[in-house]
Chains A and B, each alone.
Chain A
Amino acid sequence: MRIAVCVKQIPDPATPYDLDPDTHRVVRPNDQVLDDTDRFGVEVGLQLAEGDDGSVTLFSMSPSGSLQGIRQALAMGADKAVIIDDETLAGSDALTTSRVLAAAIEREGFDLVVAGTESTDGSSGVVPQQIAELLEVPSLTFARKVDVADGVARVEQQTAGGYDVAEAPLPALLSVTSGVVEPRYPTFKGIMQAKKKPIDTLTAADLGFSPEQVGDAGAGQKITSVTSVPAREAGEIVEDDGEAYLKIVALLEQAKVI
């Protein structure tokens, strides 16, 4: 089984994000990290591949920079990575990102695509569904449990009030939540092997896209303004000395809810 896993390198969420005042884009430092939610997709891909003598290929559209996030996913055990890195892609919206990723996945060939449900630094949370539609395959999304057997993918999907069991024949796409599996930590051996694993770098043109179709030019949306929202006034922060709960009781009284 050929498994494609979509991953994203993002600015470290522990550091404050900066917006470029001209483009309104998040400033992307050279050293980006693997989006934590993607480790779950990688782990699902690895487990499914292990049970089936399959392969795991990572797909990512990003300025490659240091590639430390991609190396981390390779160190977990993925076989190779395909990076689409091209200046013309800067400013691409979610749909363009999906088109580029879908084209790269199709070029490589696949039986199953695995993605997280949404990236930590994005907002739309629709890239997996867009990729599935472009690849003309079913999408089993928000999966909290995953199984593939006899050419059929079967998942437990989160719903508002519980969960559904859904299934679809391969080829298919799965989007997985951050609870589906326990991602492995790279071993020393894995880290050493990752340095030798192939990373293919493609341009938008390699995938048949012209500069007008991607990036700012190809986006169907543009940011027209960014304004600061007034911040809440800072409150009182106290270290618990065993009696801090009394402060909460006092505040609840003051708020007249008890």
Chain B
Amino acid sequence: MTTWVFSEEIDGHASASALELLTKARTFGDVAVFHIGPGSDGAFAELGAHGATNVYHLAIGDRLPSAPAAGALATLAEEHDAELIMFGMGNTDRDVAGRLSARIGKPVLGNAVEVAVDGRVKVTSEILGGTEAVVTEATGAAPALVLVRSKAFPAEPLTDSVPNVTLVSMPDIGHAGSAVITESHVEDSEGPDLEVAGIVVAGGRGVGSAEKWAVVEDLASQLEAAVGATRAVIDAGWVPSRLQIGQTGKTVKPDVYISAGVSGAMQHLVGMKDSGTIIAINKDAEAPIFAVADLGIVGDLHAVVPKLTEALKAR
């Protein structure tokens, strides 16, 4: 069987999710990659090293990827009898998977933390804040589309082999493909990488505003920790979405996770509940985050956190 993995080039690299998915997919048999973006040699080499034998590259230019990528991938999946197509859960991944699903009439099995192929494609996902594990099976004809959570599988390079790269032509999909990207803005980042940091300091809506967000950053910088955030904070535009922890963001398992003003919505808990030590500060004693905390402080984070930061500074 052939498993397909979706990859999006970001700053000259294959997406982190693609390398994680390839590591898993190569255990099922042959792996092909559908890659969108400029198509740098570095990105192709990373894909090859993680087990891709064939890479199909769609140079997307300034087109919004979702519709043309779904159109091109639909054709490739049919031509090559794809049995399983794996995506991460990033925005572009979900855009392409959703449109592809409707285009070829196949369901999307979302939120996977484990994928098995045993005659049928089966995925395990965690629901209700990670308290229940659900196994869902694709029942129709192949291919099955699967969205996999970040860090469900470790990315492990295998060889130095360079994949065969085939250029895919831009499909003509009419009006649906008429969206374009006119500007791109990158917001600078500092500090350690969220997914590998030993300590994570996460802020939630309870922080109050973008102006007050410094309280989170000051503590993180004192602890040399990575900064994380809930979806509410990303949606409010206080920090960029790469800092999002949770179902549709990053999965973190640091030694110590400290949250301030995070209530602990189910979607957030699944992204951090496997951390070593969990410390939560929230004014609402009923907040669900306290159910997973080793230490919960019921109080005003704007009183507790600055004192903590000062105490650490004084050491």
Contact = CB atoms under 8 A, between A and B. Distances in A.
B158 interface: no
Interface string A61-101: 00000000000000000000000000000000111001100
B110 A124 contact: yes
Interface stretch (A1-9, A104-112, A185-193, A235-243): A235-243
Given A130-B102, A223-B135, A224-B122, A160 B241 contact: yes
B179 A167 contact: yes
Interface stretch (B39-47, B51-59, B293-301): B293-301
| Interface of A, helix, strand, loop or mixed by DSSP | mixed
Contacts of A17: 128
Interface string B250-288: 000001101000000111000001001111000001000
Contacts of A139: 66-67, 95, 99, 179
Interface string A209-253: 000000000011111111111011011111110101111110110
A128 B101 CA distance: 12
B178 A237 contact: no
B77 interface: no
A95 B298 contact: no
A257 B223 CA distance: 8
Interface stretch (A46-54, A171-179, A199-207): A171-179
B277 to A, nearest CB: 5
Nearest to A227: B133
By secondary structure, the B interface counts as mixed
By size class, the interface of chain B is: 35 or more
Contacts of A55: none
A258 B180 CA distance: 49
Given A133-B99, A257-B223, A168 B64 contact: yes
B107 A160 contact: no
Contacts of A133: 67, 70, 98-103, 176
A237 B285 contact: yes
A255 B276 contact: yes
Given A124-B110, A221-B139, A138 B181 contact: no
Contacts of B290: 235, 237
Contacts, number: 284
A197 interface: no
A225 B124 CA distance: 9
Contact of A248 (B64, B70, B122, B297): B297
Interface stretch (B18-26, B28-36, B229-237): B229-237
A178 B102 contact: no
Given A129-B94, A249-B308, A167 B102 contact: no
A220 B235 contact: no
A126 B109 CA distance: 10
22 contacts: A94-B101, A124-B109, A124-B111, A126-B147, A129-B95, A136-B174, A138-B177, A138-B179, A154-B182, A166-B181, A167-B180, A220-B107, A221-B137, A223-B135, A223-B136, A224-B136, A226-B134, A232-B292, A240-B298, A240-B299, A244-B297, A245-B305
Given A180-B235, A221-B136, A232-B292, 8 more contacts: A164-B184, A177-B234, A238-B298, A240-B297, A248-B297, A255-B256, A257-B256, A258-B312
Interface of A: 13, 17, 19, 24, 93-95, 98-99, 118, 120, 123-134, 136-142, 144, 154, 157-169, 171-172, 177-180, 219-229, 231-232, 234-240, 242, 244-249, 251-252, 255, 257-258
